[in-house]
Chains A and B, each alone.
Chain A
Amino acid sequence: MLNFNENLPIYIQIMNLIKKRIIKGELKEGDKLPSVRELSTELKVNPNTVQRSYQELERENLVYTQRGMGTFVTEDQNIIKELKQNVASNLVNSFIEDMKSLGFSLEDIVTIINDKIGEGK
């Protein structure tokens, strides 16, 4: 069971969970998503909420539904590439915003990151 700890609507948290599974490659192009019923039982959430998540993911073209068959991850690799880039860029943006709000300049941030990467090597 997943813990919905963030103060976000549950349907968005479920979308993020599916996106994570796609980015990590746990769900590959053309893979079938769990049925609404399966995922709602797994996560212990209302089936209507899972349904809404799937609809929103479909609107973002990440998944498509085949009547009577289920919901599948898009087979368009460009869309998945774009998803990865978006997620990475969102993470970096929010990091930069946080750092800026603490008074670090962009140069400071670059220096800190370079140092950190250097440490890891």
Chain B
Amino acid sequence: MMANIIEIKGLSKTYFNKKALNNVTLTIEKGKVVGILGPNGSGKTTLIKILTGILRPSNGEVYIDGNKPGVATKSIVSYLPDRNFLYDWMNIQDAINFFKDFYQDFDEKKAYELLDFMKLNRDMKINSLSKGMMEKLNLTLVLSRNAKVYIFDEPIAGVDPVARDQILDAIINNYNEESTMLITTHLVRDMENIFDDVIFLREGEVYLQGNADRLREERNMKIDDLYKEIFGA
């Protein structure tokens, strides 16, 4: 049967006296596209930062493909290290070279194909890119690694509808059953159809987790409406 690629048990993260994550227990199956849903401050980014080894858990256990986040997992988890990890003086070709040097599993051919698909030019300067172009470049770089887990943090936030569709298409086209995609978003309506499973995070806790179509069936509503019900006023 399905193997779990990610296992999280009793995970908590406290910043000084603020609890960002509280006793989160989750399993994520291999080969799934998983939406991590919640408003700002719900703990999405903290969870991602722990999975990518940027932050350490205060309590609890996290395993990715059987290993705790660290050197071993960084080689199988593809994500953007930071919002501004690319330098202003770079052009897109420099960014690709930078990634190629950094990651052994970087597939240069795939990167160029994705750039074409995204209608981005290799000689475009990083500091001249619009928000939508920047997100498309980020997605290109992340998807060009042959990883087991891909993590996208708010990939369509603030992008125009054309770029949004290109990003969704790139995610769908690059999905394969050997890898898992984790996508955080609060733009549920635009993204809900690409998720196998959804996880609702509320105030640092898992409020609800399940197969998206099963939830639609049980609750007789779209995931977007369920989101509004859970987080609405």
Physical interaction between A and B: yes
Query: Footprint of B on A, CB under 8 Å?
Result: 1, 4, 7-11, 37, 40-41, 43-49, 52
B176-233 with Cβ < 8 A to chain A: 177, 193-196, 212-214, 216-217, 220-222, 225
Contact segment of B11-19, B52-60, B123-131, B164-172: B164-172
Q: DSSP majority for the B interface?
A: helix
Q: Which residues of A contact B195 (CB under 8 A)?
A: 46
Q: Shortest Cβ distance from B109 into chain A, in angstroms?
A: 19
| B193 A4 Cβ-Cβ under 8 A | yes
Q: Shortest Cβ distance from A78 into chain B, in angstroms?
A: 30
Known A-B contacts A37-B173, A41-B173, A46-B33; the reply to A9 vs B194 at CB < 8 A is: no
What are 9 A-B pairs at a CB distance below 8 A? Answer: A1-B165, A7-B225, A11-B213, A41-B173, A44-B165, A46-B175, A46-B196, A47-B172, A52-B213
Q: Shortest Cβ distance from B160 into chain A, in angstroms?
A: 16
Query: Footprint of A on B, CB under 8 Å?
Result: 31-33, 165, 168-169, 172-173, 175, 177, 193-196, 212-214, 216-217, 220-222, 225
| A44 B213 Cβ-Cβ under 8 A | no
Q: Which residue of B lies closest to A43 (CB)?
A: B193
Q: Which residues of A contact B165 (CB under 8 A)?
A: 1, 44
| B173 A10 Cβ-Cβ under 8 A | no
Q: Which residue of B lies closest to A49 (CB)?
A: B213
| B216 A45 Cβ-Cβ under 8 A | no
Q: Shortest Cβ distance from A85 into chain B, in angstroms?
A: 26
Q: Which residues of A contact B175 (CB under 8 A)?
A: 46-47
Contacts A10-B193, A37-B173, A46-B195 aside, 5 further interface pairs with beta carbons under 8 A come to: A1-B165, A7-B222, A44-B168, A46-B175, A48-B31
| The one of A7, A11, A41, A52 that contacts B169, using a Cβ cutoff of 8 Å | A41
Q: Shortest Cβ distance from B87 into chain A, in angstroms?
A: 34
Q: Which residue of A lies closest to B213 (CB)?
A: A9
Known A-B contacts A45-B193, A48-B196; the reply to A10 vs B212 at CB < 8 A is: yes
| The one of B194, B196, B217, B225 that contacts A44, using a Cβ cutoff of 8 Å | B194
Known A-B contacts A37-B173, A46-B193, A46-B195; the reply to A8 vs B216 at CB < 8 A is: yes
Q: Which residues of A contact B221 (CB under 8 A)?
A: 7
Q: Which residues of A contact B214 (CB under 8 A)?
A: 9
C-alpha spacing A38/B165, complex, angstroms: 15
C-alpha spacing A59/B13, complex, angstroms: 47
Q: Which residue of A lies closest to B193 (CB)?
A: A45
| A44 B212 Cβ-Cβ under 8 A | no
Shortest beta-carbon contacts, A-B, top 3: A9-B213, A45-B193, A9-B216
